[in-house]
Structure 1
Amino acid sequence: MGIEVRPATVFDDVATMVGPKRPDANVCFCLSYRIGSKENLALTGPARGERVRELCAEDPPPGVLAYDGDEVVGWAAVHPRADTSFARNRKIPHVDDLDVWSVWCIRVRPGHRGEGISHELLAGAVQFARERGAPAIEGYPVDNQGEKVDLTMAYVGTRTLFQKAGFRKAADTESVLNGFPRVLMRLDLSKG
């Protein structure tokens, strides 16, 4: 059985991938880029999970999930850039005025890493955006030039991952993560 990527409409599966071990913990829940910083800072404990539950019920939901059979094994956050903090981010430039989508977080569950799931997730995120009319999709991975990236910072992906998915470097950014520069990678979805 292969990996299947589906829209992230099942809150419990999203929580498995990006939620805290304790519901009262104030961790990311993949909200830091998805909602405004004021709301992100105001949401604490279980309120963070409830906000994600609301996002899972919206159209479009907050991303895609990868499944191996019935088991959730991966997550990718993907949404119109206009609805994310990337719309206002001073360190990541806007290449043009297209209503592009952004993919900014790719996570694979421990025990499933090294199986190509991140590639499946990125392909699924591209398909998700394409099906919803996105003219292009961007990512902001690190340009680590083959060096090891700390697992806690690897969520943005690597330039190589995006290149293998057909993305091309569109711009440098002023953002640095784990000592590596981030680059703006873009895939035009208007063709085919």
Structure 2
Amino acid sequence: MTITIVPATADRFDDVEHTFSGGGDGLSCQCQWWTLTNAQFEASDRDERERMLRAQVAAEPSPALIAYVDEEAAGWVRVGPRPTQPRLSRTRNFAATTEPWDDPSVWAVSCFVVRKEHRGRGLNRKLLDAAIDHARTNGARVLEAYPTETDTDTAKRRSNDLYIGILSVFESAGFREIARPKPERVIVQLKL
């Protein structure tokens, strides 16, 4: 299995859509949940969100990365400055962050998508490692995330509930916990 991870760019948009079509809410959301307020998201439809995503991946630096497994688009991670993801600052559970919300040198990893047939192979960790490099290369000082702690209960979680990542993946990449607003919700940071 050969894995390649590259920035999501305008010329790779069909690959982004292929990744999103592999299960979960990716196709309907178009990875706009964190970029819009609730009112804006509710007022938009899938086509409008797709147009927004097309514009975002045409910009520099790319707001996301795509993982290819044996040349097939298989995974996605959104990573970018927190100010470009305004819903993060409006989410009560994330209020315990230690960094100012308007600081563009603080980046956030906010969304993972992995096609069903590629799950369980460690692709999220590879995407996270690439996201760390992408953030560092583009001037991020701190990388923050809001993963789910899956060891807090025995309930099986749906993949749609894990799109923000799993705590153990972030911990294995060197992130440290800075707050736990709920037993299953954690805020983690990595100083770059």
Q: One fold, TM greater than 0.5? A: yes
The AA in structure 2 aligned to 1:182 is: R
Equivalent in the alignment of 1:4: 4
Structure 1 stretches of 5 or more lacking a match? 175-179
SS of the equivalent of 1:73 reads strand
Q: How does 1:1-192 map to 2 (within 5 A)?
A: 2-9=2-9, 10-18=12-20, 27-84=28-85, 85-93=87-95, 94-97=97-100, 99-145=105-151, 147=154, 148-174=156-182, 181-189=184-192
The AA in structure 2 aligned to 1:52 is: L
The AA in structure 1 aligned to 2:6 is: R
1:69-118 CA-partner distances (Å, limit 9, x unpaired): 32111001111111112133222022123531111111211111111111
Structure 2 stretches of 5 or more lacking a match? none
Counterparts of 2:21 and 2:79, CA distance in 1: 17
Confirm or deny: 8 A CA contact 1:19 1:29 kept in the other structure.
no
So what's the TM-score if we normalise by structure 1?
A: 0.85
Shift of 1:43: 1.8
1:38-92 CA-partner distances (Å, limit 9, x unpaired): 3322221322211111111011222111012321110011111111121332220
Confirm or deny: 8 A CA contact 2:174 2:190 kept in the other structure.
yes
Counterparts of 1:45 and 1:20, CA distance in 2: 17
SS of the equivalent of 1:156 reads coil
RMSD of aligned alpha carbons: 2.3
Q: Number of residues paired by the alignment? A: 181
Percentage identity across paired residues of the two chains: 33
Q: Evaluate the alpha carbon distance shift between residue 88 and residue 27 of structure 1 in structure 2; reply closer, same or farther with a 3 A threshold.
A: same
SS of the equivalent of 2:108 reads strand
Shift of 1:27: 2.0
Runs of 4+ in 1 over 6 A off after TM superposition: none
In terms of fraction of residues, the more helix-rich structure is 2
Q: Evaluate the alpha carbon distance shift between residue 3 and residue 132 of structure 1 in structure 2; reply closer, same or farther with a 3 A threshold.
A: same
Counterparts of 1:18 and 1:173, CA distance in 2: 29
Q: Which moved more, 1:68-77 or 1:117-126?
A: 68-77
Shift of 1:3: 1.2
The AA in structure 2 aligned to 1:106 is: F
Q: Evaluate the alpha carbon distance shift between residue 162 and residue 100 of structure 1 in structure 2; reply closer, same or farther with a 3 A threshold.
A: same
